[in-house]
């Protein structure tokens, strides 16, 4: 094994050519939503810190987070949070060694997508 | 490549040796985030955009303040661990990786403390 050719060997079709199944797309979406929530996390902490400084400074933060751009970021992050929440529960179930069957996995894909949208709408209605 | 054996190629590169521990802490924080998210997000969503008085009224309540503090504490801990894995997976250039890992830890730590301190100040001031 020490000196095998590690260079010009044929490769299996890679990410650029392989059509990812929905389960794989949802897998990378878990990371994307996780990283994507950083911006909202910063904005929310800023919103709390602004309330310590003065009512005027808080009004600025409260206005920005509910302006059209703020609403876009916060609503997008809200869905990202609920998606990460639902898919995170699925990951914990997987960690427990359950629900690996293809039919269950594909059913759960749609349960997770549906629940994340439903929870987002529910939160927006309550707010 | 040369004439090195597989063992010689990887010897000394090492691992931090605490991957399983990191994985387990990530799962513990994930489980904690389930109730914390449900408890934090609805009062927060109701308060956002309703002005200063509404904000102070919500977070000078001990229950809401406690949930917010726990949400920041566990949330930023979970976020820092997640971002660490992403950095380790996608940034092979070692100096850049070390710089990002360092920044990640310090940045999330600072945000968590800022959030917790803000909530505590609002609670104690009321």
Question: What are B's interface residues with A at a Cβ cutoff of 8 A?
Answer: 1, 3-6, 27, 30-31, 33-34, 37, 41-42, 44-46, 48-52, 55-56, 59, 68, 72, 75-76, 79, 82-83, 86, 111, 114-115, 117-119, 121-122
Whether residues B51 and A62 touch (CB distance < 8 A) is answered with yes
Query: In chain A, which stretches have pLDDT less than 70?
Result: 1-6
Q: A62 lies in which domain range?
A: 22-126
pLDDT in the model for residue A6? 67
Identify the structural domains of chain B with CATH numbers, from first to last: 19-125 (1.20.1300.10)
pTM value? 0.89
pLDDT computed for residue B6 by the predictor: 82
Report the run of H or E that residue A126 belongs to, with start and end. Answer: helix A102-126
Give pLDDT, residue B18. Answer: 78
Q: What is the pLDDT of residues B7-45, one digit of tens each?
A: 888 777 767 677 889 999 999 999 999 999 999 999 999
Q: Has residue A104 been placed in a domain? A: yes
Checking if the pLDDT of B124 tops 80, the result is yes
Residues 6+ apart with CB under 8 A from A85: A116, A119, B33, B34, B37
**Candidate from A45, A52, A95 with C-beta closest to B121:** A52
pLDDT in tens, B37-92: 999 999 999 999 999 999 999 999 999 999 999 999 999 999 999 999 999 999 99
In this structure, what CATH number is given to the domain that contains residue A66?
1.20.1300.10
């Amino acid at each position: 094994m020490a000196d095998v050719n590690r260079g010009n060997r044929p490769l299996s079709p890679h990410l650029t050519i392989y059509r990812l199944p929905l389960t794989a797309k949802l897998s990378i979406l878990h990371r994307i939503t996780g990283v994507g929530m950083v911006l909202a996390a910063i904005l929310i902490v800023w919103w709390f810190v602004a309330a310590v400084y003065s009512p005027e400074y808080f009004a600025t933060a409260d206005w920005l987070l509910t302006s059209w751009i703020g609403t876009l970021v916060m609503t997008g992050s809200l869905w990202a949070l609920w998606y990460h929440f639902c898919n995170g529960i699925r990951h914990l179930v997987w960690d427990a060694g359950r629900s690996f069957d293809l039919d269950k996995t594909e059913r759960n894909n749609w349960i997770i997508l549906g629940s994340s949208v439903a929870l987002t709408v529910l939160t927006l209605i309550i707010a | 490549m040369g004439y090195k054996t597989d063992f010689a190629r990887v010897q000394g590169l090492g691992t931090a040796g605490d991957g399983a521990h990191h994985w387990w802490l990530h799962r513990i924080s994930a489980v904690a985030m389930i109730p914390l998210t449900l408890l934090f997000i609805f009062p927060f969503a109701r308060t956002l955009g309703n002005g200063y008085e509404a904000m102070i009224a919500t977070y000078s309540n001990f229950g809401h303040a406690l949930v917010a503090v726990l949400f920041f504490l566990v949330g930023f801990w979970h976020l820092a661990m997640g971002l660490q894995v992403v950095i380790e997976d996608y940034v092979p250039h070692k100096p850049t990786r070390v710089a990002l890992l360092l920044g990640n830890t310090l940045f999330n730590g600072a945000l968590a403390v800022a959030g917790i301190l803000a909530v505590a100040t609002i609670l104690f001031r009321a």
